Each structure stands twice: as C-alpha cells, then as structure tokens.
Amino acid sequence: MTDKWLSKAFFLRLLAAAAGGFAVFSSYQPLGWWLGGLLGVALLAIALAPWGSAQKHPSLQQGLLLAFVFTLVDTLFMLPWVGEFVGSVPYLGLCFTLAIYASLIGLGGVAILAQIPPKFAYFGFAAWYAAVEWAISSFPFGGFAWIRLAWGQVDGPLAAYSRVGGPALVGFITVLVAAGLIARRIIVPAIVLGLSLVLSIAWIDQPATPLREVKVAAIQGNVPRLGLDFNSQRRAVLANHVRQTAKLEEPVDIIIWPENSSDVNPFQDAAAATLIQEATNKAQAPILVGTITVDEVGSRNTMLVVNPDQELRDLKELAPDQYHYKKFLQPFGEWMPWRKFFRLFSPYVDQAGNFKPGTGNGLINIGGVPLGVATCYEVIVDSAYRDAVLAGAQLLATPTNNATFGFGNMTYQQLAMSRMRAIELDRSVVIAATSGASAIVLPNGKVTQQTKIFEATNLVETLPLKDTITPAARFGFKVQALLAMIGAVFAAWSLFKWRSQSTRRQTR
C-alpha cells in the first residue's frame, strides 16, 4: 500500500489534479479563460482514470485525495477575497471544507471510471460530478454554489445550455465534453458543441421582439473607505448615492440603487427618509433602495421601492410588491450558524449579522415594470430569479454590496453569475453595486456598460422587457435533480461492484 502512495504514477496523478484545479480557476472571471474549465476537468478525469496497458487505477482513498487537491487548488486561487478583511483563517477554513466535500467526486469518480464500460463511464462521471455539485450548492446552511463549473463558461459556447437546464446542465455538459475527449469519444463533444451553436443562433443571437423598452439607471455612489467598517459610515454612503443620483443628465423610468445604499432605516430615521425622498423627487423616477428594516420577526435586508412625492412613514403602509426581503441570506455574513462554536476560531464571528430571511418570489413593481430582484448572494441560488420570472418578471436586478471585499475578484465573479442568469432566463440584468463593479447585461449575456471598482458613477441604458419562459425557468430544478440521481446511481453501482471484487479477492 505504501509503495502505491509513493509511486511515480500517483505523483503524476497528483500533479494532474493540481494542474486541473488551477485550470478550472482560470476559467472564472476576471481571467475568463473558459477553455480552462474543460482542460481542468479533463486533467481530473485523467488523474482518476485507469492507466497503462494493465489499466491500473488509483484506490478509492487516492481518489479522495486527488479530488481534494483539485478543489483545494481551485478554491485557494479563486476565493482569497473571503479573507480580505477578516484574515486567513475563515478563507482557508472555507477552502479546506469545500475540498473535503468535493473529494466525493474522486471517490465515485475512481469507481465509475474503473467499473463502468468506457462508452458509458464518461457520462456517469459527468453525472456524478453534477450530483456532488448539487450537494455542495445545497448543504449545509444552504450550501455554497459559488464554485460551480458553469460560472466559468459564461463566455464560451456551452453557456447556451443554461437556457435548457440552467447552470447545473452547463456544468454537466462541461464535464461530459472533457471526459468524452479523454475517452476518445470524439463524437460526443462534436454533437454537444454543434448543438450549443444551434441553441446560440436560435435563442441567443436571434432574440425575440421585446414587449416594450424601459430606460434604467444604475447608481454606484461608492463608499468613503474600504473594509468592514464602511457600515459605520452609513450616512456618508447614503449621501453618496443621493449625490450621484442628482447627477443624472437625462430622464429615466426607474433607478436601481445597490444593496446597503441606505443602511440607515428610513422608517426609523427621518433624516435618511428625507434624503431618499429628495433623490426621488429630483429624479422624478422611482428608486429601488437597499436598506435595513425591522419588523416583528427581526432585522431584514430590504430592497425598497420609493416613488416620487412618497412619504416614508411606516413599512406596513406599503404594498407587498413594493419591497423585497432578502430570502437567501449569506451564512457567516448575514447570519451566523453555530456562533459559539465558530467564535473559538475567529474574533470576526460576532461581526456577522442576525438577519431574518424573507419569503415570496422576488417580484416587485417599480414604475409599472415587473422587476425580479436577487440581492447580492441570492444570484447564486437558482430559484431566486426563476421564481421571479415565473411570477412575471420582465427585467432583473442584482443590487449588491461588495465594498467589504476590497479590490478582490469577488465582484467580477458575481457579475459572471448575473450574466449566466441573463442567458438562462432571457432577461436583461441590471447590476448596481455600492463600490463596483456595476454593469448592464443584455439577455444574451453581453455586458454593454461596466464601472470600475471604487468610483462614483452612473450607468443609463434603454433595455428590453421580455416575458418569454425558458425551459430552464420551468424545468431547471428537475434537470438538476435528474442529473444528480443518475450520478448517484452510477456511483452507488460502481462502488458496489468495487466492493464485491475486493471481497472476492480477499476470499481467494
């Protein structure tokens, strides 16, 4: 056993897995080398597959380690922004936790590639990868879907599959193409890439006629300084957004402010309410304001529609479609699971919020426009925008606050997610960030305007309103569930055969 762990072959497998993790990292923004995602998964498949004329395969334990190394390298390069202002412990803890979780890819992957006939093995491996991605994106505490393969494919041809089955299908297809090439099943990648071209031409490059158009402004007011303490400067942040809104040079139909643009509750602070009302009155357009409200349940991360000449007195006076309580809260940020336990590892635990999640479908009405809202972290959750679109949203908005992550890549990675959602759901998306990067995204995923980080500026554009319902909006969850079940069956059957063979060898 020791010789197998110290062998040259296993060392080469480790190098392939590590290189694969780095290649997958390169597919994410701001690098955006989408081919890196295919190369990375291909290298992982090579590391896990049988080699040589004797078709020697790694052990199940080695498969766990290979997938662990693959994911650890990927996340270490992808997620350093997590520790930008809270230190290395939370950042490294998250990377190691994700790598341990993702090591299941190696456990099932080794068994599938060794026990299933080659013409089916690559399909089973892709389905098993999708199953593990689903688990990581769902559990615990709502999961962490930030590291899905699909986000790195937003600039590539496989992004077109998001309209069929969402990011889960894009990730599955990515692995399928990569593993198919390794298995020398060239016909599979050829068919997949050809179909993606057809989908792109039919759905994305030839957009349907919009219902009508609306002129939208995204306001990036900026923050006084970097770091977690930007919240202590709440009035300055609000004043920045009021001041920047006043600089609009043309009439607009609706205005989108970022998450936390008014971290002062306007229903409890008359000065904050006055500033917001002044901004809407001057612009003569409704503003979607990111604020904090409190009700009988507790504190809420709220996106609030404020109309011109509207007096903000009591939240209960507003119509239900005039505000959105953030439904999918960020664990370890907006709420803290197991607070006493994690306090042992980091003093920043007590800076995590205690917000309460909302309910509903994310649809609000602003200036007569049915707008789907996914606040910051919500954009990684499939149901956030899908529910809004199925409820009638004709335009989407991602108000976000990325100021606590400095000049890191977080904001660019999140922008890629909004772009994928635009393709998936055939909607324009308006990203309004406190400190950047804000952007305007068309239904084909193209960014027409984008701000720099930590600048005060406005984006104004006329965008189409659409009511198409894509297959992904209607059936995306079922597609993901089916892929996960297929992958689980492949892995379970392969592991059963593996154990049966091991038992027979031991009894001889």
Q: Can 326 be counted among the known catalytic residues? A: yes
Q: For 28-59, where are the alpha helices, taking DSSP H only?
A: 35-48
d(CA 500, CA 507): 11
In a 13 Å sphere around the CA of 228, the CA atoms on its Cβ side amount to: 15
- Which value, to the nearest 10 degrees, does the dihedral of the CA atoms of residues 9, 15, 21, 25 take? -150
Which of 298, 416, 314 minimizes the C-alpha distance to 358?
A: 298
Describe the crossing of helices 35-48 and 88-115 by its angle, rounded to 10 degrees.
60
The CA-based angle 12-18-21, given to 5 degrees, is: 140
In DSSP notation, 258-273 reads PTTTB-S-TTT-HHHH
Of 95, 133, 327, 376, the catalytic one is 376
CA distances from 70 to 132, 174, 327, 478 (A): 14, 16, 32, 28
d(CA 372, CA 433): 16
Of 95, 133, 326, 378, the catalytic one is 326
Taking a C-beta distance cutoff of 8 angstroms, is the pair 166, 383 a contact? no
Q: Is 126 helix (H, G, I), strand (E, B) or coil?
A: helix
Terminal-residue alpha carbon distance, the chain: 19
Q: For 87-161, where are the alpha helices, taking DSSP H only?
A: 88-115, 118-136
Residues 6+ apart with CB under 8 A from 112: 121, 124, 125, 128, 490, 491, 494
Locate the DSSP E strands across 139-269.
212-220, 254-256
Burial 471-480 (b: 16+ CB within 10 A, else e): bbbeebbebb
d(CA 40, CA 19): 7
Q: What is the DSSP letter of 452?
A: P
The residue written with tokens 């004043």 in the block is 239
Q: Can 95 be counted among the known catalytic residues? A: no
d(CA 391, CA 384): 11
Amino acid in the structure at residue 341: F
Q: What residues are annotated to the active site? A: 259, 326, 376
